[in-house]
Amino acid sequence: MSVKSSDKLKTIFELLLNPKEINALISQKYSGYLVDIGWFNSYKTKQSINALSKPIPWTTYPFIDFIVERLNKEITLFEYGSGNSTLFWAERVKEVNSVEHSSEWFKLISDKTAHLKNVEIKYTDAAKDSYSDAIKLFSKKYDFIMVDAIDRIDCMKASLDYLTKIGVVILDDSEREEYREGIEFIVNNGFRRIDFWGIAPTILFKKCTTIFYRNNNCLGI
Question: Are 44 and 51 in contact, with CB atoms under 8 Å apart?
Answer: no
Q: In this predicted model, what pLDDT tens digit does every residue of 22-60 receive, in sequence order?
A: 555 565 666 689 999 999 999 999 999 999 999 999 999
Question: Are 58 and 200 in contact, with CB atoms under 8 Å apart?
Answer: yes
Give residue limits of the domains in the chain. Answer: 3-30, 50-213
Q: Is the pTM of this model over 0.85?
A: yes
The yes/no answer on whether domain 50-213 falls in CATH 3.40.50.150 is yes
Q: In this predicted model, what pLDDT tens digit does every residue of 89-104 receive, in sequence order?
A: 999 999 999 999 999 9
CA distance 75 to 53: 25
